[in-house]
Amino acid sequence: MFGYYLDLALRSLKRNKVLTALMVLAIGLGIGASMTMVTVLHVMSGDPLPGRSGEIYYPHLDPLPLDYHKSEYGPDPGVNFSWPDAMALVSAHRAERQAAMAGGHLLVKPERTDLRPFYVDGHYTTADFFAMFGVPFVHGQGWAASADGAREHVVVLSETLGRKLFGSADATGRMVRLNDTDFRVVGVAADWRPQPLFYADASARVFSAADQFFVPLSAALDLKFDTSGNVSAWSSFDGDMKSPTVTWLQVWVQLKDSTQVAAYRQFLIDYSTNQKRLGRFERAPGNAHLYGLMEWLDHQKLVPADVRLQLWLALGFLLVCMVNIVALLLAKFLRRSGEVSVRRALGARRRDIFQQMGVESMVIGLAGGVLGLVIAQVGLWSVRRRPDDYAHLAQMDPSMLIGTLLLAVFASMLAGLLPAWRACRITPALQLKTL
pLDDT tens profile 132-151? 999 999 999 999 999 999 99
Report the pLDDT value the prediction gives residue 109, as an integer from 0 to 100: 93
pLDDT at position 25:
87
Global pTM value = 0.77
Q: Which residue has the higher pLDDT, 408 or 89?
A: 89
Residue 399 CA to residue 265 CA, distance in Å, equals 37
Neighbours of 186 (CB within 10 A): 21
Q: Mean pLDDT throughout 164-186? A: 93
Look at residue 227 and tell me whether its pLDDT is greater than 60.
yes
Report the number of secondary-structure helices (H) and strands (E) in the chain. Answer: 15, 12
What is d(CA 141, CA 127) in angstroms, rounded to the nearest whole number? 10
| Residue 48: closest CA among 393, 400, 293 | 293
DSSP-assigned letter for residue 46: S
HSE at residue 379, side-chain half, CA atoms within 13 A, is 23
Which residues are bridge partners to 59 per DSSP?
Answer: 290
